[in-house]
Amino acid sequence: MTLHLPQKAAAGDRALPPEELADLRARVGALNARYRHHGAVSVMEGALRDPEAGNIAMVSSFGAESVVLLHLVALIDRKTPVLFIDTRLLFAETLAYQQEVAERLHLTDVRVIRTDEELLARQDPYGALRLTDKDACCGLRKTLPLEQALSGFDGWITGRKRFQSSSRSTLEFFELEEDTGRIKVNPLAHWAPDDVRAYMDENRLPRHPLVARGYPSIGCKPCTSPVKPGEDPRAGRWRGEDKTECGIHFGNGTALRQGPTT
């Protein structure tokens, strides 16, 4: 399924009532307490089956490590909605890998999300917005369509992990997006790189073809470069820029932006 989404107001444009916000904070706190000592499978089951988590979708980039989380979803419920944002600037290898993995795991509700073509033509007619304002480019091609695609869901599952960057070093299994009121679930938050590799090996999962070419973190082609040995796994994302997140991950309603890590 491919969705071309028009521009409309985002949920984050309105503030949540204090009572609703307090209730959501309590729910997230209870979920973290309930699953604090559990593993990724239990957290995933909780996200998809615990009434406190609500109606959950999975958001996947079909990147370097995405297949692990997708495999866990397939084991629990292949009908889980999986949202894949096609920015129209992705590597051809990523698009091919997305189809391969979805077919291999028999995922039945993969939704390819794209910003409406007319909106792109108005705001980025030459595809050069990334050269002058990378945040605006990410907002137009990623944040806006994802926000619209998540409308109607109570939360979403991500593949973020603590080891990936300093901005993710304190991730909990469950987080609250206070500007949207949605719960964000990070089942692999505590996994180390060796855990990811071992899971892929044990389950014979296909690798993204760019990983072998030095891309441990894969985004849009113009803004992703190979990573040298010893560098932060996300050092190749927006290399040389004061930017480490695309904007779809927020902390207290503010895009997480930090300087490059070493």
Active-site residue numbers? 246
Distance CA 232, CA 125 (A): 34
Pinpoint the alpha helices (H) of 4-158.
18-35, 40-49, 66-76, 92-104, 117-123, 129-132, 134-138, 144-149
Residue 193 parent element (H or E) = helix 193-202
Q: What are the angstrom distances between the C-alpha of 122 and each of 115, 118, 126, 138, 255?
A: 12, 6, 10, 15, 24
**Burial of 184 by CB count in 10 Å (0-12 exposed, 13-18 middle, 19+ buried)?**
buried
Q: Is 258 helix (H, G, I), strand (E, B) or coil?
A: coil
Query: Which DSSP string corresponds to 136-173?
Result: HHHIIIIIHHHHHHTTT-SEEE----GGG-GGGTT--S
Distance CA 221, CA 92 (A): 9
Distance CA 55, CA 49 (A): 9
